[in-house]
Amino acid sequence: MSIAAAKSHVGAARPRVDGPLKVSGLARYAAEFATDDCLCGYVVSGAIAKGRITKIDCAEALAAPRVIAVFTHETRPQGSTSASKYRDQVAPPGDPFMPLLNERIFFSGQPVALIVAEDYESARDAASLINIAYEEEAASIDVAARKSAAYTPPKKRSGIEPPPKPRGDAEGAFASAPVRLENQYRVAVEFHNPMEMHGSTVIYEGDGKLTIHDKTQGAQNTQGYVASVFGLSPENVRVISPFVGGAFGSGLRPQYQLFLAVMASLALERSVRVTLTRDQMFTFGYRPDTIHTVGLACGHDGRLLSVMHDAVAGTSAFEDYQENVVNWSGLLYACPNAKLSYSLTKLDAYTPADMRAPGATLGVFALESAMDELAYAARIDPLELRLRNYAERDAAADKDFTSKALRDCYEQGARRFNWAKRQPDPRSMREGRDLIGYGMATGVWEALMRPTTARARLAAGGRLEVATATADIGTGTYTILSQIAADALGIPLERVTALVGDSALPKSPVEGGSWAAASAGAAVQLACFRLRRELLAIARAMENSPLANADLQHVTFADGAIALAAEPSRRVSILEAMRASGAEFLEAEETAKRDASVDKSYSAYTHSAVFAEVRVDEQLGVARVTRVVSAVAAGKILNPLTGRSQIIGGVVMGIGMALHEEALPDLRLSRFMNRNLGEYHIPAHADICDIDVIFVDERDDKVSPMGVKGLGEIGIVGTAAAVANAIFHATGKRVRELPITIDKLL
């Protein structure tokens, strides 16, 4: 639509519109909504990884002070017993976990009882009084041991593509190539650890109605799940989740505390809150354990001759969880021969979960580590190797890209980082006791758009409210939607209220896959554009209207008024138009989706080039990341301030993956042992140094209506490889299993 309008907010750095609510403590999270008589639930976690409960004695717990009820598989009062009813919008194929269904135990930490009491402490105290006897069966959470039992998932997960068919003859080309290598890579299991632990407050409204405050990335996904599992009509289930204290995937699927809270609420006809402990956050929601084998070959000129990437990933016994792990290796570089494969193996663990850039984070770590190794083998600078193999089109899908400014990322990132200062040989840069290393890697993520509906409502007093059911998990959704709306009608940002995180709002998919900005943003803009047409029609019809014959192409919406572009003194203010209409408000609802022909003819991706500097204390083996430059091509950047935060957050998670995060399994118990933030390390402020973000200019008129590609995930992809590659450059030690802890460097 070619409407000339003064753009004042979109593209400009604007602080978060919800910032004051957050820093003043007024923003309420799922477990902070209160009613006078809300009961509290405490989840009892099982002690074994596999087997069955032979006896569960709750008498003592039930007799404890202030305890109202104890629910176990023997007394489970509510909820469907049909697995298909538990399938949420983003569930992988299989039978979702059904809490307290029967005596079977499938994973360590499985919830086996819910104690409901007048207060949280009483419920927690009573949990210690439950006596449970188990019959244990042999279990394994060892992907390496179960690799021989790997299988190709018979049904694909929606949105996840199986690896493309091989192209060329990757094995033949590999065998005859002058430079080649094949290695295994692995990343420790990482658990989601958002600041806000999972919790659900279920308010029992009577008449079969529930209002639920859930920690979720999709209020309507939670609503659909609860309605389906408990046989309620969706209109009677309202899910309100305005703020989410971090998620990045852990809030995509409904978690078991939601089921338990709703079950207890319906059974007791009371409001019930169930929150998980930090320890229990380690019972679900983890990046899958994945073993990669990458084979790369090139000529003496560095041109790739063969790319082979195989990955085996762990999943649960009951679901075939899938990610795009290896597909990136077939499209990131130009290469005539490629062979990719991906399989799963069953573990006695909970189903893995999406975690920021699921699949890409793992697969690109393996590929970009291997590319670095190839650079040394071919004696070519690692950046130069990437440039020599630059993919102008997506060879895997045989499509052009909607846009791809990765070359600019390489160039601008290298310049900002001062890559030219790098000495080619490992261990060739040092300062005092510190070995210094420079490493780099490429990042890639899908630029997705999903059908999303938004409503815009302009009140007579001039306030504009825009609304869609998506979530803001801290990423800045409230802010960018407000910016888009303010610009669309040419009104101040302060006059706009954005509403998200409510199942009663217009339909939106879960907030994930980095698609919310492009999708919800486009929907809000479309709805506001319809208001513009209506406002102009009203203005034209006004008596002695200065805009009597004006059409949409020739007016601007700026400074709170509609004006003729060629003669701005001919104007009608929005307030005047609203007064003339006599209406209390104008309202429009629109659905945005990507042009189907774009998906058919093009590939759409965001890209990045990540450069990292490390210092490794030669005697102590301590590695520190001292600088990161992340240069990102993600189409139109709606807000460089919140956008930059997205990239910094991704880089920090990538540094955590490279150096810190590691869930340590006891393979005899099939249980992760370090279930707290004291022993499961995440980067602290002292671990994070200078992170420099560059957004390169990337115009894209196809990917989404505003040219937006999304920023939530690209910041993490490639970061761990850049750090690992820098550590090799510093030390000459190639560590192919993350995290790179001191023991691996000494």
Cβ proximity to ligand MOS, 355 vs 518, nearer residue: 355
Least distance (Å) between residue 558 CB and ligand MOS: 36
Cβ proximity to ligand MOS, 422 vs 450, nearer residue: 450
Least distance (Å) between residue 7 CB and ligand MOS: 29
Q: What is the CA radius of gyration of the chain?
A: 27
Least distance (Å) between residue 511 CB and ligand MOS: 7
Amino acid at 475: T
Cβ proximity to ligand MOS, 113 vs 252, nearer residue: 252
- Dihedral angle, C-alpha 704, 707, 708, 713, nearest 10 °: 90
Strand 737-738 relative to strand 179-187, pairing:
parallel
Closest listed residue to residue 511, CA positions, set 524, 503, 501: 501
Determine the Cα–Cα distance for residues 584 and 335; give it in Å rounded to an integer. Answer: 61
Least distance (Å) between residue 484 CB and ligand MOS: 21
Determine the Cα–Cα distance for residues 587 and 449; give it in Å rounded to an integer. Answer: 24
3-state secondary structure 57-93: ECHHHHHCCCEEEEECCCCCCCCCCCHHHHCCCCCCC
Determine the Cα–Cα distance for residues 186 and 354; give it in Å rounded to an integer. Answer: 17
Length of the chain as a residue count: 746
* Backbone angle region of 367, left / alpha / beta, with phi > 0 → left and psi within -120 to 50 → alpha: alpha
Closest listed residue to residue 656, CA positions, set 723, 733, 745, 606: 723
Footprint of ligand MOS on this chain (CB under 6 A)? 217, 248-249, 252, 354-356, 358, 512-513
Cβ proximity to ligand MOS, 140 vs 216, nearer residue: 216
- Choosing from 196, 368, 511, 713, the catalytic residue is 713
Least distance (Å) between residue 247 CB and ligand MOS: 6
Least distance (Å) between residue 646 CB and ligand MOS: 12
Cβ proximity to ligand MOS, 79 vs 509, nearer residue: 509
Per-residue burial over 48-70, b if 16 or more Cβ lie within 10 Å, else e, is: bbbbebeebebeebeebeebbbb
Cβ proximity to ligand MOS, 254 vs 413, nearer residue: 254
Determine the Cα–Cα distance for residues 695 and 710; give it in Å rounded to an integer. Answer: 12
Locate 578 and state its tokens: 């609203």
Helices 477-489/516-541 angle, 10° precision: 20
Bridge partners of 292, per DSSP, are 185, 311
Cβ proximity to ligand MOS, 69 vs 360, nearer residue: 360
Cβ proximity to ligand MOS, 322 vs 412, nearer residue: 322
Least distance (Å) between residue 356 CB and ligand MOS: 5
Least distance (Å) between residue 151 CB and ligand MOS: 24
Collapsed DSSP state (helix, strand, coil) of residue 350 = coil
Closest listed residue to residue 335, CA positions, set 486, 483, 120, 164: 164
Determine the Cα–Cα distance for residues 179 and 182; give it in Å rounded to an integer. Answer: 11
In the residue annotation, 446 being an active-site residue is answered as no
Per DSSP, 178 falls in state: S
From edge to edge, which strands make up the β-sheet containing 605-617?
Answer: 430-431, 434-446, 605-617, 623-633, 690-695
Least distance (Å) between residue 89 CB and ligand MOS: 12
Cβ proximity to ligand MOS, 356 vs 636, nearer residue: 356
Least distance (Å) between residue 272 CB and ligand MOS: 27
Name the residue number minimizing CB distance to ligand MOS. Answer: 512
Closest listed residue to residue 298, CA positions, set 362, 369, 379, 366: 379
* Backbone angle region of 355, left / alpha / beta, with phi > 0 → left and psi within -120 to 50 → alpha: beta
Cβ proximity to ligand MOS, 361 vs 556, nearer residue: 361
Positions marked catalytic = 713
